[in-house]
Amino acid sequence: MQERRKWIDVARGVSIILVVLGHSGNEWIDHYFGWFRMPLFFLVSGLLFKSVMPDKYISWALKRIRTFMIPYFAYGIGIAILVAAKQRDPLSVSRDICNLIYGGTVLGGWYGVFWFITCLLLVHLLMGFLTRYPVKVQAAAVLVSYTAAHFVSMTPFAEKDIPWNADVALMAVAFFFLGYTVKSPLASWLERRTWFIPALLISTAAIVLNIERIWIFRMDMKMKGYTQPVLDLIVPLACVLVVLQLCYWISRWRVSSILAFLGTVTISIMYLHIPVNIVLKFGLGMEYGSFVFTLAGVVLPLGVAWIMSKSSLLSMLFLGQQGFGRKEKLQGKLKAAG
């Protein structure tokens, strides 16, 4: 695995672990990791994004919608059936499917992370359209979007349940765009540690100020919890740069292959870490803290994904293009051919 590619996969692996950890119920973790865990995911997604030719946009968009929404409904309907069986209420399936169609903040509990999928899809569709224009035009559009997101967050509109969290996509596209535009120089910056010290100082200062309650910063993308337009970009971005620098260094260690692998199989972890822990905690009556929550939320969904990978139909429905370990298999074939 090439170093550049590996550190990106390591960052994706770290991102999904932070997402799971953030849902473990620890208020401290949720507060501080909430500053950057979703911005990190959107920015890293931007690193992997490629421009779309205008004449190919419609076909590309339809393919992208299928890629995102087939697993979305496959997991959603599967969870809905499980919930109905647990509650002994078959009618809850149709209600939950209606909520899945609407998406966004109406989804909670078992479906707590589903908002992210539709939000990311909307960001992809928006950026795919914008890439036909010069970077300056893209930047202007993203700035307008970022401004509109803050207008929504600081008005009564913040209380509205917008389908697919489309209003949050206005915010998320800023981090996605940054990842997309700095993908070329970023590896060089990380190699030279260009931004590490400034980013670390900003992150540390923000943490200290919050601990001392001199200034309170909050970032909750799903619930539109961003009301400081300048700092809502600076603080998360500083934290993200620190994490990316650490991921770049970690990628040089052999053990980093585990994190890199997680970065290639995030889909099952994203969808299943909350249902798995609900079943363990409330279904089986188990009590545990953040560490076990995170471990169970990562390992058990991976086991489920591995089982599903043995079926082409289940792979298509639940794993999509990402598959399970396909990159490793491909590399093995290339090495064998060499």
What gap in Å lies between CA 51 and CA 226, rounded to an integer? 29
Question: Can you read off the two tokens belonging to residue 47?
Answer: 């690193």
Tens of pLDDT, residue by residue over 43-71, are: 999 999 999 999 999 999 999 999 999 99
Per-residue CA distances from 216 to 3, 11, 32, 301, 338 (Å): 38, 27, 11, 35, 56
Tens of pLDDT, residue by residue over 266-300, are: 999 999 999 999 999 887 888 999 999 999 999 99
What gap in Å lies between CA 300 and CA 284, rounded to an integer? 15
Position 116: which residue type? F
What gap in Å lies between CA 322 and CA 325, rounded to an integer? 8
Q: Which residues contact 286 (CB under 8 A, 6 or more apart)?
A: 280
What gap in Å lies between CA 304 and CA 78, rounded to an integer? 13
Tens of pLDDT, residue by residue over 186-221, are: 999 999 999 999 999 999 999 999 999 999 999 999
- Contact criterion met (CB below 8 Å) for 29 and 21: yes
pLDDT of residue 5: 79
Q: What is the DSSP letter of 280?
A: I
What gap in Å lies between CA 119 and CA 46, rounded to an integer? 14
Does residue 326 register a pLDDT over 60? no
With the C-alpha atoms ordered 40, 44, 47, 51, is the resulting torsion angle positive or negative? negative
Q: Which of 102, 105, 123 is nearest to 115 (CA)?
A: 105
Question: Can you read off the two tokens belonging to residue 153?
Answer: 């967050």
- Contact criterion met (CB below 8 Å) for 49 and 180: yes
